[in-house]
């Protein structure tokens, strides 16, 4: 057909290449193709924010440890905890007055100004007081940026999209952290203080980028009850205030053993993390003989190694762990490695064991434990999650910091005399961490099966929750398949086929004679075609349900030795 336009033909390969790459990239990132553009935009934005904030973190922490010393950490933990409520109030006031996007830009510009102020203070007088104040100021600014960043990101994705997309955005942050490690290592060869300018430059760049993102991104429609519950929770908070929200949170805390166990797990984890930070800081300062340049380079390299590990874990290890072992076992990994890290330091307190504990504390937490905790929330009713998160952010996390600070003050004389004392304290907390995680594990499995019985769980969530089931859990699923409830029976059959294919296949004779047509259809669909006997396929010809006949015909086609009756049965169904 001739062209109606007299202009030259437009080459198509230039435009087809992104279209060809997009499906593959979306598959690699585990997002839908329609979500890919928004995902990459926000992930790129996360790279800039992560690079700016963590480069400044390496500088501020190094100067703090060099001038104030690691033994100032207990006071730092307490002071930082006391800023939690004013910080949350400030974020809420800015958001209500200016909206999410504008308030985020205000915070970013304020960070740029704060960075210049911190550098000026370092230039005038770089002593212990200035270093302590600058580290507190940076930490508060960092928390504000992260709170506003996730508020900004979540407004452009609904809850179901977020489950797929937020891990990619977190991976973008990790790339930014890796870049910050490289930047720190290069710049610190000359001086530590100029790294603060990366904080200022990155904050301004992020503010400019956020304007373009708001113009190109869009707010998704509510397609899930969880979206509506998040909005209702925000309306309730504005109408009744934060204290009323806390009271509601405490009601759930006292009414659910799983919620109480989760709160205790988070509390112990935060205490273990703070103790680990203190212990690692003492060993880092000792290993570098309190030389600022060497300390800065060491911290930069430690973060670089940590987030390379985190990226590898999140992309390759975490999917395997969640699919094979399930969340019920994944939540035990970080506590176990934390205990191993503290034990290694107690046995041999030197730089190598300190780096191991540092990588465990940060790399495994963000790479494996955070995704597992996100799935863990699926065992709770949707209306509980927003209030639990509010309770954790406003009570549990500050309380953990205060408890750790005062506890470390009490044992500080012994720590100064011997760092092994702090490692032994860490071992005790690590053991408590494992106990808390094991308690959550047992209650979590019970909650998953309770939601299974009430049809409030998806097949994917069940698989991620339990991984490969135990013989007892397999027997329980078989009991549901033989039970009287239609929906539970069908869900249990699909779950068993995914979690224990061999057991499912061994039940074929029983499944194919089930009175439930859906179960008979699943038997043909979910079993390996070559494990289905020819007489079972022949018997499906006379089934009353056309979908069962169709499933049998497709299974016959998929066999290595193709079933001769497949074509005839498909033709018959096509004519019916």
Contact in structure between 366 and 170 (CB atoms under 8 Å): yes
User: For position 19, what pLDDT does the model report?
Assistant: 45
Q: Could you tell me how many residues make up the chain?
A: 576
Q: How does pLDDT run across 427-450, given as a tens digit for each residue? A: 999 999 999 999 999 998 888 877
User: For position 59, what pLDDT does the model report?
Assistant: 96
Q: For residue 340, name the pLDDT band (cuts at 50, 70, 90).
A: very high
- Residues with Cβ within 8 Å of 273's Cβ and at least 6 positions away in sequence, in order, are 361, 365
Contact in structure between 535 and 505 (CB atoms under 8 Å): no
- Please check the confidence at residue 457 and state whether its pLDDT lies above 80: no
For the chain, the average pLDDT equals 85
Q: How does pLDDT run across 71-108, given as a tens digit for each residue? A: 999 999 999 999 877 887 788 788 888 888 899 999 99
Q: For residue 13, name the pLDDT band (cuts at 50, 70, 90).
A: very low
User: For position 17, what pLDDT does the model report?
Assistant: 44
Which of 524, 531, 529, 530 lies closest to 549, judged by CA?
Answer: 524
User: For position 11, what pLDDT does the model report?
Assistant: 44
Which of 554, 414, 458, 344 lies closest to 71, judged by CA?
Answer: 414
Structure tokens at 484: 């009287």
Q: For residue 367, name the pLDDT band (cuts at 50, 70, 90).
A: confident
How far is it, in rounded angstroms, from Cα 429 to Cα 335? 10
Which of 49, 29, 51, 33 lies closest to 167, judged by CA?
Answer: 29
Whole-prediction pTM? 0.81
The average pLDDT across 372-400 equals: 78
User: For position 521, what pLDDT does the model report?
Assistant: 93
How far is it, in rounded angstroms, from Cα 152 to Cα 549? 51
Q: For the chain, percent helix, then strand, then coil, each to nearest 5?
A: 85, 0, 15
Q: Which is more confidently placed, 86 or 455?
A: 86
Q: For residue 185, name the pLDDT band (cuts at 50, 70, 90).
A: very high
Q: For residue 14, name the pLDDT band (cuts at 50, 70, 90).
A: very low
Burial (CB count <10 Å: 0-12, 13-18, 19+), residue 508: middle
User: For position 234, what pLDDT does the model report?
Assistant: 55
Q: How does pLDDT run across 508-545, given as a tens digit for each residue? A: 999 998 989 999 999 999 999 999 998 999 998 888 89
- Please check the confidence at residue 64 and state whether its pLDDT lies above 90: yes
The average pLDDT across 261-288 equals: 95
- Please check the confidence at residue 333 and state whether its pLDDT lies above 90: yes
Q: How does pLDDT run across 224-233, given as a tens digit for each residue? A: 444 455 555 5
User: For position 568, what pLDDT does the model report?
Assistant: 84
The average pLDDT across 547-562 equals: 90
Structure tokens at 364: 């495994």
What domains can be seen in the chain, in order of their start residue? Answer: 31-221 (1.20.1250.20), 224-455 (1.20.1250.20), 469-575 (no CATH)
Q: Which of 8-17, 130-139, 457-466 has the highest mean pLDDT?
A: 130-139
């Amino acid at each position: 057909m001739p062209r109606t336009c007299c202009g030259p033909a437009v080459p198509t390969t230039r435009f087809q290449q992104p279209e060809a790459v997009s499906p593959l990239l979306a598959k690699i990132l585990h997002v839908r193709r329609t979500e890919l553009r928004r995902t990459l935009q926000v992930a790129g934005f996360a790279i800039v924010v992560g690079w700016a904030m963590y480069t400044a973190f390496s500088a501020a922490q190094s100067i703090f440890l060099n001038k104030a010393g690691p033994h100032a950490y207990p006071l730092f933990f307490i002071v930082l905890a006391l800023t939690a409520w004013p910080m949350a109030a400030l974020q809420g006031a800015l958001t209500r007055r200016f909206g999410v996007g504008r308030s985020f830009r205000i915070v970013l510009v304020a960070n740029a100004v704060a960075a210049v102020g911190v550098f000026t203070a370092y230039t005038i007088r770089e002593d212990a007081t200035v270093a302590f104040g600058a580290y507190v100021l940076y930490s508060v600014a960092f928390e504000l940026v992260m709170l506003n960043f996730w508020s900004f990101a979540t407004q452009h994705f609904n809850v179901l999209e977020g489950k797929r997309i937020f891990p990619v955005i977190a991976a973008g942050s990790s790339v930014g952290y890796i870049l910050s490690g490289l930047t720190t290592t290069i710049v610190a060869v000359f001086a530590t203080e100029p790294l603060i300018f990366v904080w200022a430059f990155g904050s301004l760049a992020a503010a400019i980028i956020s304007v373009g993102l708001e113009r190109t991104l869009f707010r998704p429609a509510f397609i899930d009850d969880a979206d509506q519950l998040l909005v209702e929770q925000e309306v309730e908070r504005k109408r009744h205030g934060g204290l009323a929200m806390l009271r509601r949170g405490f009601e759930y805390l006292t009414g659910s053993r799983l919620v109480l166990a989760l709160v205790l797990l988070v509390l112990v984890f935060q205490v273990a993390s703070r103790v680990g930070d203190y212990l690692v800081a003492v060993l880092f300062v000792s290993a570098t003989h309190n030389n600022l340049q060497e300390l800065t380079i060491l911290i930069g390299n430690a973060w670089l190694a940590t987030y390379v590990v985190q990226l590898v874990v999140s992309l390759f290890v975490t999917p395997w762990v969640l699919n094979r072992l399930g969340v019920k076992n994944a939540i035990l990994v970080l506590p176990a490695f934390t205990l191993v890290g503290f034990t290694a330091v107690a046995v041999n307190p030197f730089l190598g064991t300190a780096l191991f504990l540092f990588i465990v504390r940060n790399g495994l937490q963000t790479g494996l434990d955070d995704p597992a905790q996100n799935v863990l929330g699926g065992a709770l009713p949707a209306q509980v999650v927003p209030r639990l998160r509010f309770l954790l952010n406003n009570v549990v996390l500050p309380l953990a910091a205060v408890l750790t600070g005062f506890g470390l003050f009490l044992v500080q004389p012994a720590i100064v005399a011997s760092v092994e004392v702090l490692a032994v304290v860490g071992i005790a907390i690590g053991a408590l961490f494992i106990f808390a995680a094991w308690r959550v594990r047992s209650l979590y499995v019970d909650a998953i099966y309770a939601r299974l019985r009430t049809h409030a769980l998806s097949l994917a969530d069940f698989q991620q929750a339990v991984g490969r089931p135990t013989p007892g859990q397999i027997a329980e699923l078989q009991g549901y398949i033989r039970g009287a409830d239609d929906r539970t029976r069908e869900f249990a059959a699909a779950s068993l086929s995914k979690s224990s294919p061999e057991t499912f296949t061994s039940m074929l004779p029983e499944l194919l004679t089930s009175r439930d047509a859906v179960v008979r259809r699943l038997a043909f669909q979910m079993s390996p075609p070559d494990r289905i006997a020819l007489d079972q396929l022949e018997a499906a010809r006379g089934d009353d349900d056309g979908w069962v006949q169709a499933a049998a015909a497709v299974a016959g086609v998929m066999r290595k030795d193709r079933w001769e009756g497949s074509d005839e049965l498909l033709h018959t169904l096509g004519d019916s």
